Amino acid sequence: MPHTGDDPPVTIPRDPAREAAERELSKPMYHENDPSLFQRALNRFWGWVDDLFSAASGATPGGALGLLVIVLAVVLVIVALWWRLGTPHRAAASEAHALFDDRPRSAAEHRAASEVHAGRAHWNQAVQERMRAVVRALEERALLDPRPGRTADEAAAEAGRTLPSHTDRLRAAAHAFDDVTYGGRTADQATYLRLAELDHDLRRTKPVLTSTAHTTPSNRSQPSNSSQGNAE
């Protein structure tokens, strides 16, 4: 029977109506263009970042521009500290680092290796090999006792006792070796040339003996106590 205008409107209770609407809207046909779970999470993250940036810029003098200046200043400070101090895993000065590896090589071999690296502009390796050549040459001249596990600083300190005129240069060479080997620094041509010059000068320098020779006093001639007996 057709409804007339005089029929009362059909009313549905609120809860069943809401449940019916939820069932209808949950059908896949209504969600084909919805963002994926990842996209929703990403949108929420960027919304959080935007809220955080807005709150920070509101509390910073100059607003967003002032906040940007502060962030750039902090980044510049971090970069400057990184360049000045080296990488965070820089070795402590008290730690011992062996100068040589397990395979013994002569001073000439270390020197030749350093020159090859220098020819290729591999300054870190060139500095390392030249320092090893310096210390090995001193061992070969018996100015240093061959000792496994010796560090560059120890070698410089010991060599400075017999080569006092080169103490400062030996210490600087040891520091250069430690900087490029354990400190994360980068050597340059000038550093290598200073080491090569030191190597050349040490080979021409005569050592200063640290032990004084003990001289024995010369035997004095004792006066002859022999007397000639009177002839009877």
Token digits of residue 114: 């350093």
pLDDT mean over 28-53: 70
Q: What is the pLDDT of residues 7-20, one digit of tens each?
A: 555 555 666 666 66
The proportion of the chain whose per-residue pLDDT surpasses 70, expressed as a percent, equals 58
| DSSP secondary structure, 10-46, as one string | P---HHHHHHHHHHHHTSGGGSTTSPPHHHHHHHHHH
Of the pLDDT bands very low, low, confident and very high (cuts 50, 70, 90), residue 207 is: confident
Of residues 218 and 52, the one with the higher pLDDT is 52
For position 229, what pLDDT does the model report? 39
pLDDT mean over 37-46: 76
CB atoms within 10 A of CB 105: 16
Q: Given its phi and psi angles, is residue 168 left (phi above 0), alpha (psi -120 to 50 degrees) or beta? A: alpha
Q: What is the pLDDT of residues 69-125, one digit of tens each?
A: 667 777 877 877 777 655 544 444 344 455 665 567 899 999 999 999 999 999 999
- Mean pLDDT, the chain, as a whole number? 74
Count Cα atoms within 13 angstroms, Cβ side, for 147: 12
